[in-house]
Structure 1
Amino acid sequence: MRPHSVAVLLGVLFVLSSLSPAVAAPEDEEIPMLRLFFEKEEYIIGEEVNVTAELTANGRYVNPDIGGIALAILMNFTFGQGGPGDIQWVGLDSVPGERGVFTGSFVSQPQHVVALDPGGEGLPLMGKVIFMMAICAYKQVQTMAMGVVPIESGPVINVAVSDHYPSPGDTVTVTVTTTNGTVVDAADVVVGLSSYDGETSQDLADLTVTRESTGVYKASYTIPVDLTDGTLYTVNAGASFPDYNTSAYLQPLFGTGFMVSFYDIWFQNVSATDDETVVAVWVADTAGNALSGIDVDMTVDVYLKAGGLDTQVLANTTGADGSAVFTVSHASAERLDVTGMASDGTYVQRFYMEAVIDHSMPEPPEPEDPDGGFSVEAWEFPETGPIWDMIKEP
């Protein structure tokens, strides 16, 4: 099953759980847990599906009360419109010599399959599945488990950008690829953008989308040449598919985007005592070279151990090594939240940091996977170059 299916299935199972009310167990009794397992991640119509049910209580395998475990296929199910229209029971037999383990099988048939699409529900899952529910009782406490057997995966949309770190005046190309087992055309593809400069968020106009080839669509955006604030752009892409609900737009689970940075900003805990914390903000250009004369303004929220918040406004300028040092006086505290901005008088970049008050050196940041989901805060840290060497041994 593809990862984007998980969140939706959890919501579906929550709705289905209302079909069988459970009896609450007293606090001093064992709590039973019933689980279903399948041999494969995906099946086809006419294929035998082997099911294993396991019953445990407080971590140990137990046998259910008289009656065993009942397993049913829920058919003609429509999300948001009540329960299943029909039920087919599946026999489960206990495994000889194993407590709490039951097995059974059935052959998947067309009438078992439910087509699930996001029409009217805002769901990111489209595909065909078989819903199953198992119920049993242990020491008169009822427990249940839901099972989902994927029969056919739905369409998938993949979104990529040509440059995660463009500069003003650069053009970024957004590529949308739509697949349904193989590359297929979508009924419609929409690509929108939103921007956030660390202070203001806004939705930009949708981009013009061009079909390049089967299932491949492109759109482009040119960064304003006069942009002076460090800005994060988030791509909001969606596609509808003719074989499903053409009014429902599928979106990727993990978003992507790109960011215009003028500085790399790094935050360091220099020292900490019960009544004073010294922090340094390091500023470099995007090549990792230290920048002097950069104004750093920040608001510090001190979270006191006794409760309450102590807010302070501080300002300093980076020296030749690219650092601006701040001394924060406070009562006994747990952490600092820092919101600030760095500027050379023309270009501005905002940042937000959290600092636990201790004596440990912060870990260097982990680089993002350029081929995976793109996630970036409104600041970036250099990993090579002169300033990084100074930061590691200030």
Structure 2
Amino acid sequence: MPGRSVRSWTLMISGFVHCGKPKEAIGLFSEIEEAGVRPNEVMVVAVLAACADWGDLGLGRRIHECSTQSGFSKNVQVSNTLIEMYVECGCLEDPKGMDPNDVTFVGLLHASSHIGFVDQGREFFTSMTNDYGQGSFKRLTIEFITNMPIMPNTVVCGALLGGCKVHKNIELAEEATKHLSELDPLNDGYYVVLSNLYAEAQRWEDTARVRKIMRDRGVKKTPAWGSITVDGVVHEFVAEDETRPQTQEIVQMWEKLVEKMKLKGYVPNTSVVLLDMEEDQKEKFLYHHSEKLALVLGLMNTEPGTPIRIMKNLRVCDYCHAAFKLISATFRREIVVRDRNRFHCFKDGFCSCRDYW
């Protein structure tokens, strides 16, 4: 473009965010800063959204400070996006001071259902009407449950499939996946859950059959990645990618950590490997999980005692989850992992999800 304005820069950043490319959006904002362009409120919202998606807490905090100085914090949309940014980056203590709305209660009820807090869920449901006047939302919820059609949708079948994963019910999972493959045929997550169940039961022929179905239908598994921000730089890791600097050093350090953890009774859960191979090969295969590489990089390059925050695009596996609990106690580190479903806050050998995810 012969002439660039705040509006054109903002449109480009927003475009990248809406297309699921927060890394490119943040890179473009760096160019804007170098060019000396002063952002407006709309641009601030777009960049904060990119920070939330990419997990760039450092840049998000810097924009928060600039927004306060510029008076943008009075803008409701800026404030809402700031809250989202802090929450998505795992800083749950920072966004306070606002009354909950219907969206807040949806999140609370969703969290209660995932962690099995039935009584607390009932309390939140009652509080919507009694404490915060969310009566209309309550009526809509009851209406939805009462009038739900007999034919299940992806939400109902997806919840059923998730329950099957927890309780290892392969027969019911097959039925749920059958419906989901008709309702949402290109969603790889459903096939992966069923494949995981088969692998854990060592039904390798069925595991291969699911993969063949995915290939025949053109369904591609979403590549797993994990990222961590160190000294303002976001480091992204992809599973089995050994081209990044320090990868070999990171893997070697992880091997040493595993040996130390085994002395404390740690037993690697190799059932999460969806391949028919020897146990020692499975264990080495697990060393290259992206969130694990990100964690070791954090341990190597941050001061002792400082929290480590990791972003993960897929569900964290059982193997990494168990290891992270032990490492949080061994190194006395708080480790926050945001995966596809929720936040995992590891501290003193325990996780906030209480091993229910």
**TM-score of the superposed pair, with normalisation by structure 2:** 0.24
Q: Larger C-alpha radius of gyration, 1 or 2?
A: 1
Specify which structure has the higher proportion of strand.
Answer: 1
Specify which structure has the higher proportion of helix.
Answer: 2
